[in-house]
Amino acid sequence: MNKDGAQHPFWDISGQFSWESEEERHLRANDRAFNHQFDYAKNSIRTSKYNIFTFLPLNLFEQFQRVANAYFLFLLILQLIPAISSLSWFTTVVPLILVLAVSAAKDAIDDVNRHQSDRQVNNRPVKVLDNGSLKEDLWLNVEVGDIIKLENNNFVTADLLLLSSSEPHSLTYIETVELDGETNLKVKQALTVTAELGENLQALSSFDGEVRCEAPNHKLDRFSGTLVFKRQKYALDNEKILLRGCTIRNTDWCFGLVVFAGPDTKLMQNSGKTTLKRTCIDRLMNFLVLLIFAILAAMCLVLALGHSVWEYYVGYYFQVFLPWADEVRSSFFSAFLIFWSYIIILNTLVPISLYVSVEIIRLGNSFYIDWDRKMYYEPNDMPAQARTTTLNEELGQIKYIFSDKTGTLTQNIMVFNKCCIRGVAYGDFVNAEGHRLEVSESSSKVDFSFNPLADPKFCFYDHSLVDAVKRGDPATHQFFRLLSLCHTVMPEEKRKGMLVYQAQSPDEGALVTAARNFGFVFRARTPETITVVEMGKTIVYELLAILDFNSVRKRMSVIVRCPKGKVTLYCKGADTILYELLDPSCGPMKEKTTYHLDEFAGEGLRTLVVAYRTLEQEYFENWQKRHHEASTALDNREEKLSVLYEEIEKDLMLLGATAIEDKLQDGVPQTIEILGRAQIKIWVLTGDKQETAVNIGYSCNMLCDDMMDIFIIQGKNADEVQKELRNARKTMRPGDFAEDGETEVQSLKQGSQRVLQDEEPNGEYGLIINGYSLAHALDGALERELVRTACMCKTVICCRVTPLQKAQVVELIKKHKEAVTLAIGDGANDVSMIKTAHIGVGISGQEGMQAVLSSDFSFAQFRFLQRLLLVHGRWSYLRMCKFLSYFFYKNFTFTLVHFWYGFFSGFSAQTVYDEWFITLYNMVYTSLPVLGMSLFDQDVDDCWSLQFPQLYVPGQRNLFFNKRQFAKCTLYSLYSSLVLFFVPFGAVSSNLRTDGHSMADYQSFAVVAQTCLLVVVSVQMGLDTAYWTVINQLFIWGSLAMYFAITFTMYSDGMYLILTGSFPFVGTARNTLNQPTVWLSVGLCVALCVLPVVGFRFLKMQLRPTISDKVLARIRFLRLLPPPSPQLRLRRGSSRRSGYAFSHQHGFGALITSGRNMRARAPFSFPTSLVPSAASVASRARK
């Protein structure tokens, strides 16, 4: 609800995920019997997919959704029928069970990890109120209507109605980083009627209030309901609710009433569901298996028809020599049986070893990720981890990356980096000659030992600034005095001399910490005073007013009276705002400050300007009187206060500027720049405010001043959002619209397509959209407009989005673009999009392990993403594509020879090869060479892969293995099979051995055909291998040697004597393979099969080179040159931006001056003389 009581229409837009929920929740405190009638969910959560009873049926159901598994099950059934089976049933059932067992074991391990995570969360301890006393219980036993006690730094157990707390006015401070990624503190406040309960357990136990509120939903920033207590009704809103996933801060204790538990909590409502992820290759394989089965059926039908004709015209009259089976009465029925026999014989078109090999390749490439030392983060002892082994090759096809900001791109640490005081810049590290140097581990830090209250973690490298402070430079003292006074920070002294600042925004914390280290220590505050230790001397300032921050003013001011009675206004804020408020005499200094601001912003720092004004006592008293009247006005209070603020915040004297570094993770700008060169688009989806996200966009080089325009979508309703999106698209592609500027030329064509094609803009653009506008844009009527506009932009930043909206954006791209998506984040608020994207990456950061536990891959730093994609992902995709192309080639060629042989064997389902060769072909003779190539092959090494990100583009376009490549592979196999059948057939049909015996027999032909086949596919393997290792050599030459060793052994006299029925080819190998004509046939087959491929590849590379061909040619040229000199540090060129308090909560200044967040007792443990009494303040004021 808004301030006027109206409901925001955009929150009615339904999300992607649907949840079964009631229309209204009704509960009574401390009354489980009453609440049980509604059957509300308990607080136990479950993110796992299976349990001990559902694992086997559900997992088998998922696995048989893979068409190949269902196909092999069908073959197994056929092989159990004696009349048509020509192969033993165990040849299919053993590998099928192996494949199913390996996949099931892998899924079971993943689900066991999820169960362990669930148990860890569900078994957390909590204090539950029971019959007037607190008892220790577990999270999973908490129910709706229970009252629980939380203490400082506790996680919030469930969604609670705040009843009371230890703080004044029952305020409770929470950190919501798990929900929205923001680390700044937020304030919640209980109703006055429940605040009176305090920590009186008897009063809390007798509390029987009834709550009626909205049903469970995913909307984090809204709650509406009522509390009925003692026949009085009280309104409830989001400010009185503590959400699961938050952390209690700076609050000793609080009590809450459970409203939503377990899966009904807003955190779980936003978490999405665990889904089965399949790669593009898997989906293509499902289609190809169906296609191959259709081809197989067609081949078997042709052979069966041929058999029917042959039996009808020939076989029927030769039944004395070739008798029909007892059950066969006609050639048609015989053909029917032969059809199924050929189905079994030709099933090697898709052997089950294909899927065994695929799983081995994926497992091996996963180990490479786990073992990569360049992705190991030593400070946290955190290696990269492939948490799933089924998605590796899809890492080489990513087109869109959806990234969280806080903790993913940034370290979530603000650092006071540089400043400008009276036109002089400080912060650069320079040597004795005055030359600027890069800061390193060995750089000399400023010694703050003169200040016993300095923060030991604070680092600064410009010694001239501390020298100016020590020598008492007035401007420098005034500068740091301003920073120590103009803020809304709350201090806490955990023990004597150990100050901890609790800031509403990390920016403010960094500025106050800087002032503290340079000798101006903010020590304490009351509603009327601010205590600062200035260069060792305690000074108490009377706080007269706080002119609070809001997003329109973009500044804040404080008015204080020093002990000498002088009244001063101190102001800090955005330079674009404060420059308009400066005194005209500040012109020269303004030019100098502007120059340094541009320098700071060019380095990606967040800047703000500081200024002050000395106020006349008489004027201020008059203004203060009018300010009091405006602040107590019932009508137009905000407008009246704004006018007064504008009046007093003028004729300011410029002091200088500050530059804060929102510390990015190491290598983030470089990583984004490299991924951009790989044509990967990065979208930032964050819960932070727009200004914060934009600053990070500039710091990361995602946004830059070279862009033609940056569109900001902030419409309040669907019509405004649609207009802004269309205007943006008109700017990027004006040719798509007619002369009137409104009629779209391509609208009908685009409207008929579900998958939207890529559209090229007329330059580089950026798009920024907030969560309110995004809610409208995600509506069905506008989603295509959003996709078309956003996908033309180089950078998209979505601000103030909920976790579910993150998932909806990812799903939108999956729906309307033929592109592979990757989502990366580090917190619980990122889990939903991580589960939704094709690939989910978790960063083990400061926000816990929820993202990692839900991810497919994990590591410690964002910069490792470039190596994951451009090296491991590209290699995995390249290897898998080569493997599939080669595997289909060798098996199609192997199988099609059977097809041609059918025309010369009376279509009798006779195999062309020895049965042992058929058994060992995929298992022994060709398995290791193809695995060697698929595990070790690389076109270029990892350094070149990162230096030339363009090599990644073919994977995005799926150029290496697709339906077209499959068709080429099939045609090449068809040609090779013809060569491999007719060349050996011609070689043995009319030739004599050297001993005068004829070679025109079945066994000799089989040996020659299988030898030619194996040599040809081995040569083809060598031709496809780009990176030779000892293992590749061993596998290829070893497999050929093993073939000849096994062949000569099995066809020997000894094996025949031992097992006569199993080895009928006695003596065939030695009598055939010693003939020169056989080896001439082998050489001829190799030449006829391989030379056309070599010639085609050479001409294609010369006449129509691909991106990879061009880059590889460039790499070959560069290898001949000396190594390049080290590249210069990436320079950020960007416009000046203010980074002041973008996460600041409006109204916190009023909270401080009201004293509602102040304890009644002295808040710190230092001497009471530092905390002035009201009487002493009044005394000084009179003086």
Q: Identify the DSSP state of 757.
A: P
- C-alpha 736/C-alpha 717 separation (Å) is 25
Calculate the CA 760 to chain-centre distance: 26
Q: Which residues of 620-642 are buried (b: 16+ CB within 10 A; e: fewer)?
A: beebbeebeebeeeeeeeeebbb
Amino acid at 209: G
- Tokens 């790669």 belong to residue: 279
- C-alpha 884/C-alpha 432 separation (Å) is 63
- DSSP letter string, 603-628: TT-EEEEEEEEEE-HHHHHHHHHHHH
- C-alpha 914/C-alpha 767 separation (Å) is 65
Distance of CA 741 to CAs 15, 188, 710, Å? 33, 49, 20
- Tokens 């569900």 belong to residue: 122
- Tokens 């101006």 belong to residue: 520
Neighbours of 990 (CB within 10 A): 9
In this structure, what token pair is assigned to residue 508?
Answer: 């403010």
575 is catalytic: no
Calculate the CA 616 to chain-centre distance: 56
- C-alpha 550/C-alpha 1142 separation (Å) is 9
Task: Report phi then psi at 607, rounded to 5.
Answer: -110, 155
- C-alpha 110/C-alpha 59 separation (Å) is 12
The 3-state DSSP class for residue 1177 equals: helix
Amino acid at 1039: S
Short-list 799, 794, 803, CA closest to 682: 794
Do residues 164 and 170 touch, judged by C-beta distance below 8 A? yes
The 3-state DSSP class for residue 34 equals: helix
- C-alpha 228/C-alpha 222 separation (Å) is 20
- C-alpha 822/C-alpha 841 separation (Å) is 7
Short-list 369, 409, 267, CA closest to 858: 369
Alpha helix ranges (H) inside 617-716: 617-631, 637-648, 668-677, 690-699
**Cβ neighbours of residue 620 closer than 8 Å, sequence gap 6 or more:** 544, 559, 567
Q: Per the residue annotation, which of 404, 662, 826, 914 is the catalytic one?
A: 404
Output the 3-class SS for 301-349.
Answer: HHHHHHHHHHHHHCHHHHCCCCCCCCCCCCHHHHHHHHHHHHHHHHHHH
- Tokens 């002119």 belong to residue: 547
- DSSP letter string, 1008-1064: HHHHHHHHHHHHHHHHH--S--HHHHHHHHHHHHHHHHHHHHHTSHHHHHHSTTT--
CA dihedral in degrees (665, 670, 673, 674; nearest 10)? -110
User: Which helix or strand (DSSP H or E) is residue 560 part of?
Assistant: strand 555-561
In this structure, what token pair is assigned to residue 200?
Answer: 């009186």
- C-alpha 185/C-alpha 195 separation (Å) is 21
Short-list 879, 834, 874, CA closest to 855: 834
**Cβ neighbours of residue 238 closer than 8 Å, sequence gap 6 or more:** 221, 222, 223
Query: Which residues are annotated as catalytic?
Result: 404
